[in-house]
Homo-oligomer: A and B are copies of this chain.
Amino acid sequence: MSKGRASIRDVARESGVSLTTVSLILNKGDERISDSTRQRVLSAIEKLQYRPSRLARGLPNNRSRTLAVLIPALQHAFADPYFGEIISGIYDYAADHDYRIMLEVARRDFIRRKQYDILIEECSVDGILFIGATEEHRFLAEFDGSDKPFIVVNNHFQQWKLRTVLCDYAVAGRLAADHLVELGHRRVGHISGPAAQVLTAEQVTAAFVDRLAEHGVELPDRLIVDGQFTVEMGELAMQELLTRDSELTAVFCGNDKMALGAYHACRRVGRTPGEDIAIVGCDNIPAAQMADPPLTTIHMNFYQLGTLACRTMIDLVDPVRCRRRAADEQSSDDGHNGHPESRCPRLPVSLIARGSCCEPAVGDRV
């Protein structure tokens, strides 16, 4: 009794009930158990400063109430606002539901030794959320159609049917096209992400091109350059684009980083973004609105994406508690955007018009 921290037994003794009762109160919350008993137990818990051990709690049913966030072993993955926002969303939802978040990096040996399986097998985590998966991550094949608690966040795969949560990249491409055409642009270029690696990059490009075509604007392949999602390559891509067609009046970039790189390239040849040339980005990272001029971009709610991903995962691995939660959140569809019911919900996106888009110079170009 006086040794170490209080255990469930101490609480039971203190409040004059059995272990079972305490356990029941700890878990189900509602159901059985009279209010008076509950009060007694609750105050005993308070008095003894009792903290149920997660280890012991998980053992009987092999659940750790911990989720793993897996990220690729990129150089500064942790320093990326993209990952950061998603992780924040995941973390917050998890914390609110008494889940913890474990960090895992998909290093080479992590994959070779199948740590992602081990993680689950040894009950370290109840599920895995993979952010930043690309076609390079072949090991994902293993999860194809499996019922393992594995979710790919913000990418998906042609050949496999993995559980996925993502932003609506097709709409993103269309919004950009509409915006540019509305402004009067007809001579448009595009800096894409690495389409071969990332399906969403391919989709946004395809959607952009298709929508442009619907508006009667043709975007030839030679005016699409891969910017690898980085500032540096975006800059090079813009340079290339300007070489291929110096009359370009607008460019849509697959993400904000490349758009910011494009700014540099434009300036170097004396074209000012927002004045001599229109640039649209995608993602709406913090740097976008701080850029000069502020970058017009497609807003993606990565925080909410993380939230939704985490929610989907918990629904998957903890259906019991979920049902209870559902009861609590009486406000029916609360936060239920993106149709989380489907296996691949898509989060809505929107265009944020800022200063980087102008109309094409009158009579000048085109």
Is the CB–CB distance between B56 and A59 below 8 Å? yes
Is the CB–CB distance between A5 and B55 below 8 Å? no
With most chain B CB atoms within 10 A of its CB, the pick from A54, A79, A100 is A79
- Cβ of A85 within 8 Å of any chain B Cβ, yes or no, is yes
- Cβ of A206 within 8 Å of any chain B Cβ, yes or no, is no
- Cβ of A102 within 8 Å of any chain B Cβ, yes or no, is yes
Is the CB–CB distance between B51 and A62 below 8 Å? no
Please choose the segment from A121-129, A147-155, A171-179, A340-348 that sits at the chain B interface, where 4 or more of its residues have CB less than 8 A away.
A121-129
Cα-based distance from A56 to B156 in the complex (angstroms): 36
- Cβ of A220 within 8 Å of any chain B Cβ, yes or no, is no
Q: Considering only CB atoms, which chain B residue lies closest to A83 in the complex?
A: B78
Question: How many copies of this chain?
Answer: 2
- Cβ of A105 within 8 Å of any chain B Cβ, yes or no, is yes
Q: A7 to nearest B CB, angstroms?
A: 11
Q: A230 to nearest B CB, angstroms?
A: 11
Residue in contact with A62 in the complex, picked from B53, B88, B104, CB distance below 8 Å: B53
With most chain B CB atoms within 10 A of its CB, the pick from A75, A88, A91, A104 is A88
Task: Return 20 A-B CB contacts under 8 Å, by A number.
Answer: A51-B121, A51-B122, A53-B59, A53-B123, A54-B122, A54-B123, A55-B58, A55-B123, A66-B102, A75-B286, A76-B84, A76-B286, A78-B83, A78-B84, A79-B79, A88-B105, A95-B107, A100-B104, A100-B124, A232-B290
Question: Which residues of chain A from 1 to 28 have any CB-CB distance to chain B below 8 Å in the complex?
Answer: 5
Are A102 and B100 CB-contacts (below 8 A) given A55-B64, A118-B51?
Answer: yes
Residue in contact with A91 in the complex, picked from B103, B122, B290, CB distance below 8 Å: B103
Is the CB–CB distance between A87 and B103 below 8 Å? yes
Is the CB–CB distance between B105 and A102 below 8 Å? no
Cα-based distance from A75 to B83 in the complex (angstroms): 13
Give chain B residues whose Cβ lies under 8 Å from the Cβ of A87.
78, 103
Cα-based distance from A155 to B54 in the complex (angstroms): 31
Cα-based distance from A286 to B76 in the complex (angstroms): 9
Cα-based distance from A121 to B102 in the complex (angstroms): 18
In this complex, the interface size class of chain A, counting residues with CB under 8 Å from chain B, is: 35 or more
- Cβ of A52 within 8 Å of any chain B Cβ, yes or no, is yes
- Cβ of A196 within 8 Å of any chain B Cβ, yes or no, is no
Other than the given A78-B85, A79-B79, 13 more pairs (CB < 8 A) read A51-B121, A53-B62, A53-B123, A55-B123, A59-B59, A76-B85, A78-B83, A79-B286, A91-B103, A91-B105, A95-B110, A100-B124, A101-B102
Give chain B residues whose Cβ lies under 8 Å from the Cβ of A53.
59, 62, 122-123
Are A78 and B76 CB-contacts (below 8 A) given A5-B121, A121-B51, A123-B53?
Answer: no
- Cβ of A77 within 8 Å of any chain B Cβ, yes or no, is yes
Cα-based distance from A78 to B123 in the complex (angstroms): 26
Question: Which residues of chain A from 248 to 301 have any CB-CB distance to chain B below 8 Å in the complex?
Answer: 286, 290
- Cβ of A81 within 8 Å of any chain B Cβ, yes or no, is yes
Question: Which residues of chain A from 89 to 106 have any CB-CB distance to chain B below 8 Å in the complex?
Answer: 91, 95, 100-105
- Cβ of A142 within 8 Å of any chain B Cβ, yes or no, is no
Give chain B residues whose Cβ lies under 8 Å from the Cβ of A85.
76, 78-79
Residue in contact with A84 in the complex, picked from B5, B79, B100, B286, CB distance below 8 Å: B79
- Cβ of A80 within 8 Å of any chain B Cβ, yes or no, is yes
Give chain B residues whose Cβ lies under 8 Å from the Cβ of A66.
102
Give chain B residues whose Cβ lies under 8 Å from the Cβ of A123.
53-55
